[in-house]
Amino acid sequence: MDDLEFRKRLYSDPASQDQDMIDAIKQDSKRASLADELNAFDDEILTAMKVEVPENLASQLILRQSLHAHQQTKKKSRIHLAMAASVAFAVGITVNFLTASPVYLNVADYSLAHYHHEAANFEKTGDVQYSLANFNSEMNDLNVSFSDKLGKLISIDDCYFDGMDSMHLVFEGKYDNVTVFIVPKSEHLKFTQQFNDETVQGVARQYQQGGVIIMGDKKETLELWQKKIDETIEWSI
Amino acid sequence: MASKQVRYEALVNALHADLYRYAYWLVHDKHVAEDLVQETFLRAWRALDSLKDQKAAKSWLITILRRENARRFERKQFEMSEYDEGATVDNWSTSTEQQLEDHWLREKIAKLPAEYREPLVLQVIGGFSGEEIAGMLDLNKNTVMTRLFRARNQLRDAVEQDKAIKGRYNG
């Protein structure tokens, strides 16, 4: 190794542990003293470079990180809360949709389904004592009233007619009970004037403010019921 | 979580001083250096899981810090402040001989071209080898060794010059 090369190597890394550098220093006292000088100089450089570190820098770094992490956690929990809320909302919408959304496209199908579903709940005969005023007050929500009693009442109840708040009336008929649904104006159900299946028949009439569906035994003369209702029904809006 | 916290705190305690000094010599401003170190450690915290080799932690942090510094320049395109004497030396009156000596050398180090100073800081403070510095600065090793040689050479020349001037005054 010539002097120039030695100098270059020494200046670029005075603390070099390369074997040829160690050997070169050992073999030549001039080189050894230059190496000592350079190493001492490096110590000076190191001391000079060690500028004062701001007090508490380490604790500040730790503090800032933990505040940051804390905020992240808060943000995350907010996100989780928001996610939970979204899921709950979606579930709510879905349940609402499944229970309240129209499944049937026409009055006939739905009426038959509803009728058969509840048929077993009603007696064939009955005569609930009621006043016309009481009877009409039950209909308030539908904005409908009757000017006369329709017949012997077996049952009167609110019902959920394909997602619409409706009235479910059951009267005594000649052969079997007669069911009357009074429903609000519906956008999605198509009114069929007459319908039937194996056991029951039905008639439906659409008024401007709502509809009336009458169902009963196949032998029953539903037209009479329809006529009676037609004559006595009063829509208030 | 807890162990990540422990690792992080260990990292801060072991390396914050070196990192701060490196930042200081990079930007010559105490406050900017401190901000850089803060940003660097925040990023380090977020990416701590990606640090597999604890031995590589220092060069990893320096790489983050250099990137942060580059971002800083993209954000505000202001001129890097010149070496600010006031920022290095606080109390002239209470300075010892050694502090004056340090101050003198600091000025010389600060006046080195940045491309010579940076590898020197990495070697002297960081204790990195030529290869490691080359990796961090994305240079080849020969270039790094040449710059290290020039850095020390210029500093030595400055010392010699100073001695010569002093000598003249004394003589």
Find the mean pLDDT for residues B73-99. 56
pLDDT tens-digit series, residues A63-109: 888 887 777 777 777 888 888 888 888 888 888 777 666 667 778 88
For residue B49, the number of C-alpha atoms closer than 13 Å in the C-beta half-sphere is 3
Crossing angle of helices A29-49 and B141-170, in 10° steps, is: 90
Q: Does the pLDDT of residue B89 top 50, yes or no?
A: no
User: Which chain A residues contact residue B47 at CB under 8 A?
Assistant: none
Find the mean pLDDT for residues B39-54. 86
CA distances from B64 to B6, B19, B21, B44, B123 (A): 20, 11, 15, 8, 18
User: Which chain B residues contact residue A55 at CB under 8 A?
Assistant: none
Length of chain B: 171
B7 touches chain A (CB under 8 A): no
Q: What pLDDT is stored for residue B148 in this prediction?
A: 96
The amino acid present at B119, given as its one-letter code, is P
Q: What pLDDT is stored for residue A9 in this prediction?
A: 94
A4 touches chain B (CB under 8 A): no
Q: Which of A39, A60, A43 is nearest to B17 (CA)?
A: A60
CA-to-CA distance for B144 and A231, rounded, in angstroms? 106
Q: Does the pLDDT of residue B91 top 50, yes or no?
A: no
Q: What pLDDT is stored for residue B72 in this prediction?
A: 83
Burial of B165 (0-12, 13-18, 19+ CB in 10 A): exposed
Q: Does the pLDDT of residue B1 top 70, yes or no?
A: no
Q: Does the pLDDT of residue B170 top 90, yes or no?
A: no
For A164, phi then psi, to 5°, come to -115, 140
Per the model's pLDDT, the better-predicted residue between A160 and B76 turns out to be A160
Contact A45 B156 (CB under 8 A): no
Contact B124 A65 (CB under 8 A): no
Residues with Cβ within 8 Å of residue A72, at least 6 apart in sequence: none
Q: Which of A201, A141, A45, A183 is nearest to B159 (CA)?
A: A45
Contact A41 B156 (CB under 8 A): yes
Q: What is the mean pLDDT of chain B?
A: 83
B95 touches chain A (CB under 8 A): no
- Closest alpha carbon within chain B to A5: B149
A50 touches chain B (CB under 8 A): yes
* pLDDT tier at B143, thresholds 50, 70, 90: very high
Q: Does the pLDDT of residue B129 top 90, yes or no?
A: yes
Contact A12 B148 (CB under 8 A): yes
**Structure tokens belonging to residue A200:** 């029951």
CA-to-CA distance for B87 and A121, rounded, in angstroms? 93
Contact A69 B45 (CB under 8 A): yes
Fold held by B96-171: Arc Repressor Mutant, subunit A (1.10.10)
Q: What pLDDT is stored for residue A100 in this prediction?
A: 63
Q: Which domains are seen in chain A, by residue range?
A: 3-49 (no CATH), 107-235 (3.40.1000)
CA-to-CA distance for B48 and B56, rounded, in angstroms? 12
Beta strand A144-146 with A210-217 is: unpaired
Query: What is the arrangement of strands in the sheet containing A194-196, beginning at the earlier edge strand?
Result: A153-161, A164-171, A178-184, A210-217, A200-206, A194-196
Closest-CA distance of chain A to residue B56, Å: 20
**Structure tokens belonging to residue A72:** 């992240």
Residues A210-230: b if buried by 16+ CB within 10 A, e if exposed: bbbbbbbbeebebeebbebbe
Q: What pLDDT is stored for residue A101 in this prediction?
A: 60
CA-to-CA distance for A32 and A43, rounded, in angstroms? 17
Q: Does the pLDDT of residue B46 top 90, yes or no?
A: no
Q: Which residues of chain A have pLDDT under 70?
A: 99-103, 237
CA-to-CA distance for B49 and B7, rounded, in angstroms? 10
User: Which chain A residues contact residue B131 at CB under 8 A?
Assistant: none
Interface ipTM:
0.81
pLDDT tens-digit series, residues B112-127: 999 999 999 999 999 9
Q: What pLDDT is stored for residue B5 in this prediction?
A: 86
Architecture of domain B1-77: Orthogonal Bundle (1.10)
Q: Does the pLDDT of residue B2 top 70, yes or no?
A: no
Where do the structural domains in chain B lie, given as residue ranges?
A: 1-77, 96-171
Give the predicted TM-score (pTM) of the model: 0.56
Q: Does the pLDDT of residue B76 top 80, yes or no?
A: no
